[in-house]
A and B are shown apart, each in its own frame.
Chain A
């Protein structure tokens, strides 16, 4: 069983829809949680960063962490065609860069 599970999709939504992306994990030591966006043929870029449980909002993006369920989510409001990309979740054990784990990524397409 992988430490981080992420539905690969693909996910296709109309412009303006609310998108929900999710990951589950098995290692309870993870405390830093991240979402990366990766456009085709490009490297990932950090989108959201949260520490421990709770919600964090940045513009149209909201990251949610539920440590009790080992479940993290990224919500995108008012989705735009420019949001079409692959979204990777990532998580890390504190103070140990070797223990960073990425999900396989969910491919999202937002249709005009």
Chain B
């Protein structure tokens, strides 16, 4: 019962390098999300996808792009990494866009990204 799987778990990049974070869910959920978590800041929504074929900006989209490859997969790309993008990145999925008590968001275990 994998749930939400994120790869890689850890990555170190140099400034200016590009990278794609992968996320896959096996719960047949329609909606998927990318968050970043920084000390003292809480989780902040980067992008979300309400359903296959659609993506929308969240609170902090600058410097990122996303692709909803199919219903299962939602990737996050850093085109030119900057030290300010050092963070823990979480992918989540839910049955519907507006999560509720019986249809909550399910989170992966995160990708820890350091940019030097």
Residues of A with Cβ closer than 8 Å to B? 4, 6, 8, 41-46, 49, 88, 90, 92, 94-95, 97-98, 100-105
- Chain B, Cβ-Cβ closest to A96: B98
B32-61 contact mask (Cβ, 8 Å, vs A): 1 or 0: 010000011111110010100000111100
User: Which residues of chain B come closer than 8 Å to A92, judged between CB atoms?
Assistant: 98
Selected contact of B92 from candidates A43, A94, A101, CB within 8 Å: A43
- A101–B41 Cα distance when bound, in Å, is 10
User: Which residues of chain B come closer than 8 Å to A8, judged between CB atoms?
Assistant: 40
User: Which residues of chain B come closer than 8 Å to A6, judged between CB atoms?
Assistant: 42
User: Which residues of chain A come closer than 8 Å to B105, judged between CB atoms?
Assistant: 46
Q: Can you name 30 A-B residue pairings with CB atoms under 8 Å? A: A4-B42, A6-B42, A41-B109, A42-B109, A42-B110, A43-B4, A43-B90, A43-B92, A43-B109, A43-B110, A44-B43, A45-B104, A45-B107, A46-B104, A49-B101, A49-B104, A88-B43, A92-B98, A95-B98, A97-B45, A97-B48, A97-B97, A98-B57, A98-B58, A101-B42, A102-B43, A102-B44, A104-B40, A104-B41, A104-B42
B90-110 contact mask (Cβ, 8 Å, vs A): 1 or 0: 101000011111001111111
- Chain A, Cβ-Cβ closest to B110: A43
User: Which residues of chain A come closer than 8 Å to B33, judged between CB atoms?
Assistant: 97
Q: Report how many A-B pairs have Cβ atoms within 8 Å.
A: 59
User: Which residues of chain B come closer than 8 Å to A4, judged between CB atoms?
Assistant: 42
Residues of B with Cβ closer than 8 Å to A? 4, 31, 33, 39-45, 48, 50, 56-59, 90, 92, 97-101, 104-110
- A11–B106 Cα distance when bound, in Å, is 26
User: Which residues of chain B come closer than 8 Å to A104, judged between CB atoms?
Assistant: 39-42
User: Which residues of chain A come closer than 8 Å to B106, judged between CB atoms?
Assistant: 45
- Chain B, Cβ-Cβ closest to A50: B101
- A43–B57 Cα distance when bound, in Å, is 21
User: Which residues of chain B come closer than 8 Å to A43, judged between CB atoms?
Assistant: 4, 90, 92, 107-110
- Chain B, Cβ-Cβ closest to A99: B59
